Structure 1
Amino acid sequence: MISTLKTVGVAVGISLLLLGCTATSTKHQQALVSAEGISPSINNIKGHMSFLAHDLLEGRDTGSRGHEIASLYIQNEFEKYGLKPAGENGTFQQRVKFRKGLLDIESPTMVLTANDSEIELKFPDDFLTGPNLGNADVSLTAPVVFVGYGIVAPELNHDDYAGLDVEGKIVVALSGKPASFPSEVGSHLSSRTQKHAAAADRGAVAYFSIQTPAGEERRPYARSINFIRAPRMSWVDEEGVPGNGRKEIQATAFLSIDAAHSLFSGSDTSLDDVYAQLANNETPKGFDLDYKVSIEYKTNHEDITSPNVIGLLEGSDPELKNEYVVYTAHSDHLGISTSVEKDKINNGAMDNASGTSVLIETARMFSELSVAPKRSILFVAVTGEEKGLLGADYFVRNPTRPVESLIANVNLDMPLLTYEFADVIAFGASHSSMGEKVAAAVANADIKLTDDPWPQLNLFTRSDHYAFVKQGIPAVFLVTGIESRTPGIDGNEVLNKFLASNYHRPSDDMSQPFVWKAAQTFTQVNFEIGLTLGNDPERPTWNKDSFFGQTFGRK
């Protein structure tokens, strides 16, 4: 208890120091003024970021002391602005139980057996496996079935399991998806979660993935070997069952192309035949392989906890206050790296101290309104995003307010605040009526809404808002756009430079050339969106032609 109090004292002390040091003269600002004269404060945003991205927080890794300090800081800010606690047991926190797994890298073995022949594959040269969060000890022998891409998509008239019996067997699937699949839809269907679910639903006991030539060119197998010591994490329920996997899938592996050739040897269709079909834009059909496979490996488990921090601004309308607009931003990052670089702390200034700071400042602006929006607003700083969108997934599957009352999600993740932007992008806006509402809201801040300029990156399925989408809640992922107000600056080049030089690296720190007017503008845009959604007579609805609305929307 004493050490905890000391931690809080240090956090608050550093916070006040940094806020004092970062004060700038208002004569150099052209403040954006919103409803009732409320405007975003550059000093506040800069102060929040400076604290959250400080070396003393050691990169805010999920379950770490640094992330606990960050969570206490966010909670204190919510309390300061008069938000009500909306976590568990009358607190601001929703404590999430996680299981962390580390592979015993001396343990993996794999043997292919057919008739009297036996092929032993070597880890990690021939195959890779990762921590198993359901079973600490894996020992499995089963026949093998090739299942194409391993995707079932009736809406696209695609079923890789048609005519195949995989009950009690290991399925082997190509990584990725058919080239003909739409970008966002294909990203969902080809995700680990969906592929494992399709296999488990049909009785498979293990899932092996093999590389395509195109996939090998983009991300060589050899590069993946660098991550064999990386941990894996999942939230677990009260019984200790991992919440984002399928327990039926007892083992997983990723085979090198050479090892996959061995597995296909003896079959009427070789792996080269399968690759030739891919080259001709054909979809390979599945078939039984000749081998049985035995696989064994061990995982060391550790149970930890980490909080989501949740504050509530209660709505002003007697009826609509029971509906909630949910803002999210992830407060975690990667912690301390194991690299040989001198600086090992992944400060996560842009990813995502920036989004979290905007969330906090948006909460402050709402708290100063003389009359709150008609709907209630939930501000949720989620944990475990970097571990697989875990905190958001836990929150929306164990919500502290009825899930049917969560009407919209606005997610803030890694806005680029190093140039003055003239537009914003709201990934997912085309799937629901939130598109037109967001467009109207951002216009109030003299900003325009731009369509997704990077559909090939599948960003709609790659941040915390996607957990809401999968529970039928319309959502947008809001980021700064690529059109700059400053001549000679190309927003797309800024993004690519950040991804190449600073993304998920210790160099994502406060030494970057932040343009604080951009942070102010982004916060204003975010605030306007919440006002619009909070006061709109109608709650957002899915567009009729949206795959995600058809798949997840409530009937």
Structure 2
Amino acid sequence: MKKSLAFTLLTSAVFLGCGAGDAATKTNNAADVTASYNSINKEQLTEHIKTLASDEFEGRAPSTKGEKLTLDYLTKQLTAIGFKPGNGDSFLQPVPMVSIEASSDMALSIGGKEYQYGHDMVMGSSRISDFEQLKDSELVFVGYGVNAPEYQWNDYEGLDVEGKTVVILVNDPGFATKDPALFNGNAMTYYGRWTYKYEEASRQGAEGAIIIHETAPASYGWSVVEHSWTGPQFGFVREDLNKDRVAVEGWVNSDVAKELFANAGLNFEQEKAKAAKGSYHVDMGDLTASVAVKNTVKKSTSYNFIATLPGSVTPDEHIIYTAHWDHLGKDTSKEGDQVYNGAVDNASGTAALIEVAEAFSKLPMAPERSITIMAVTAEEQGLLGSKFYAANPVIPAAKTVANINMDALNVNGRSKDVSVYGLGQSQLDDYLIVAAKKQDRVISGDPRPAAGIYYRSDHFAFANIGIPALYAKSGKEPVDEATKALRAHLDPILAKCYHNACDEYSEQWDLSGAVEDIQAFFEIGYELSHQNVWPQWSKTSEFKR
């Protein structure tokens, strides 16, 4: 550490316009905080990851043996270091859920040809129902499937899709054109997310919704669709049994899409180009879709884990650290390795929660504000745990100072930079700038703006209720040639293993970069914990309202 904590505090105060009296409220001396900061280490982090990502934990799917083992492990670790139950007298917040598993025994029939589940397409239903179907449902291409008045864009304008199936491109027009004046340019907006596509199709009254998968605009390969949207799909239990959703929703790969467009007398690439120029839709000739979806429906309860180190002065004010504990579980239909261990995604972030908590617990005096550790469920199913918490907060949003989220940490060595997803969203960036500078690092922007990462992890639910939320991790610039060589070897493996059974702990990993990130996150939380400041959203942030 190059500068004293007092320098950090002073610099943060300058960034945020704090009063000079803030530094006087510090309750631990710089040496104490340095010791806590340095207690975060890769040996402990490794052991936590290896345990959470072990075969014994069976991929940590919600409402399974793996969930119980994970929650028990977190309870044991956080209790041992003095954290208290964060939900009254319990560490757990129940999240009522329903799992809907579509039988793989289905075929999508379009234009006289049957497309196979997994290889060509993945179909399912969000309706809480044993059986849903499309039967000779007319196909309509609706471009990006966007209805955005603020962008003067409506792909459904003048279109009645009742009883029809809409075919939709993934991402949004800004990605296709790279025009900075169109939506958010190359950076994905929420309109580009697959979740929005199904939501809007449902609002429009469609019977079915099919998204066309392409690797570049989706930011992941077809294997992610094949593994992530098959098997049990979790959602919330609702009185209307999700009947307001389209009957069938799913994906087709790009080869199938090209064939369908050709059969409709359309050129796929030309239609994509038209869809990027403005509101657009076109009937797909006389093509119709038929598919029968047989579901196994099970209601269950999963849990968010919440633990708090009570503040010494204003315990009702909280800094919340989050990570999702869940992953994809087991696939017993597979031969060979059946466990989706989720070591990077997200045993790494869950382990980081324990390391941050332990660092705070080592301070001689508790921070003035409370530190809350939250491991949420069902992120992989659409941020369900964090969404449920946001709708049912244990800590009022008005008393939540900030959220710092940790998801899929860097495992390939130290970086010269820190990538901030959603850079410029809030004043939390200013705290990170100071923390990174102490490590001789600089801040860089989102390395994959087209992927819409800021809308794809649990901080998004906190941002949606107005809580400033930070999501960052090690950047792309390796600290030295050895790290560059390691990344050249590891990065292709890590990319291939995203949402695959090979996301397992490896002795080839270098967690030194992850440790630096966790230390920076600890530093930010500590600074916020003894300052009478409330970080604000930037004037340009869509979350400011």
- Shorter-chain TM range is 0.7 to 0.9
Unpaired segments ≥5 residues, structure 2: 1-29, 178-182
- Which of 140, 147, 155 is the aligned partner of 1:152? 147
Give the SS at the match of 2:533: coil
Per-residue CA deviations over 1:57-82 (Å, capped at 9, x if unaligned) read 22322222123112111112211222
Cross-structure match for 1:275: 269
Give, in angstroms, the shift of residue 431 of structure 1.
1.3
- Aligned partner of 1:202 in structure 2 is 204
**CA deviation profile, 1:477-513 (whole Å, cap 9, x unmatched):** 2222233333342286466234245434444434323
Higher alpha-carbon deviation: 511-520 or 143-152: 511-520
The 1-side partners of 2:453 and 2:464 are apart by 15
* Residues 1:430 and 2:428 are matched in the alignment: no
Counterpart Cα distance in 1 of 2:215 and 2:512: 45
CA offset at residue 136 of structure 1?
Answer: 2.1
**Structure 1's 404 and 134: CA in aligned 2 closer, same or farther, altered over 3 A?**
farther
Q: Which moved more, 1:307-316 or 1:500-509?
A: 500-509
Flag the 1:434–1:241 CA change in 2: closer, same or farther, 3 A.
farther
Instruction: Read off the aligned partner of 1:298 and give its amino acid letter.
Output: K
The structural deviation recorded for 1:459 is: 2.4
- Aligned pair count reads 499
- How big is the shift at 1:524? 1.6
Q: Is the 8 Å Cα contact of residues 128 and 297 (structure 2) preserved in structure 1?
A: no
CA contact (8 A) 1:132 1:299 kept: no
Q: Is the 8 A contact 2:140 2:282 kept in 1?
A: yes
Q: Which amino acid aligns with 1:37?
A: A
Aligned to 2:61: 61
CA distance in 2, matches of 1:520, 1:225: 31
Q: Which moved more, 1:291-300 or 1:532-541?
A: 291-300
Match of 1:85 in 2: 85
Q: What is residue 24 of structure 1 aligned with on the other side?
A: none
- Deviation for aligned residue 1:327: 0.6
| 1-structure distance, mates of 2:139, 2:130 | 23
Aligned to 1:413: 407
Distance of aligned partners of 1:33 and 1:67 in 2 relative to their CA distance in 1, 3 Å threshold: farther
SS of 2:167's partner is strand
2:33 matched residue in structure 1: 35
Counterpart of 1:336 (choices 307, 330, 340) is 330
Q: Distance in 2 between matches of 1:33 and 1:50?
A: 31
Q: Hey, what's the Cα distance between the residues in 1 that align with 2:163 and 2:170?
A: 21
Determine the C-alpha separation between the residues in 2 that align with 1:198 and 1:130: 17
Q: Deviation per CA, 1:354-401, whole angstroms, max 9, x where unpaired?
A: 221221121112123234334322211112223332222222222222
Cα distance in 2 between the residues matched to 1:103 and 1:183: 36
More off after superposition, 406-415 vs 172-181: 172-181
* Contact kept in structure 2, 1:277 and 1:284, CA below 8 Å: no
Distance 1:212 1:512, change over 3 A: closer
Structure 1 residues 478, 225: closer, same or farther in 2, change over 3 A?
closer
Aligned Cα root-mean-square deviation (Å): 3.5
Counterpart Cα distance in 2 of 1:34 and 1:446: 21
Moved more, 142-151 or 325-334: 142-151
Distance 2:259 2:65 in 1: 42
1:540 aligned partner: 535
Residues 354/336 of structure 1: CA separation in 2 closer, same or farther (3 Å cut): same
Q: After TM superposition, list the pairs within 5 Å mapping 1:6-405 onto structure 2.
A: 35=33, 37-38=35-36, 39-42=38-41, 43-87=43-87, 90-107=89-106, 110=109, 119=112, 121=114, 123-124=116-117, 128-139=122-133, 145-167=140-162, 169-178=164-173, 179-180=176-177, 181-182=183-184, 186-210=188-212, 230-237=230-237, 239=239, 241=241, 247-254=244-251, 256-257=256-257, 260-261=260-261, 264=264, 270-272=265-267, 275-279=269-273, 282-283=277-278, 285-288=280-283, 291=286, 295-318=291-314, 321-337=315-331, 342-405=336-399
Distance in 2, Cα, partners of 1:105 & 1:501: 24
Question: Structure 1 residue 131: deviation in Å?
Answer: 4.2
1:249 is displaced (CA, Å) by: 1.8
- Cα pair 1:134 1:247 within 8 Å, conserved: no
* Matched-pair identity in %: 30
1:417, distance to aligned residue in structure 2 (A): 3.1
- Aligned equivalent of 1:474, options 468, 474, 485: 468
Q: Give, in angstroms, the shift of residue 137 of structure 1.
A: 1.5
Q: Find the aligned partners of 2:89 and 2:186 in 1 and give their Cα distance.
A: 39
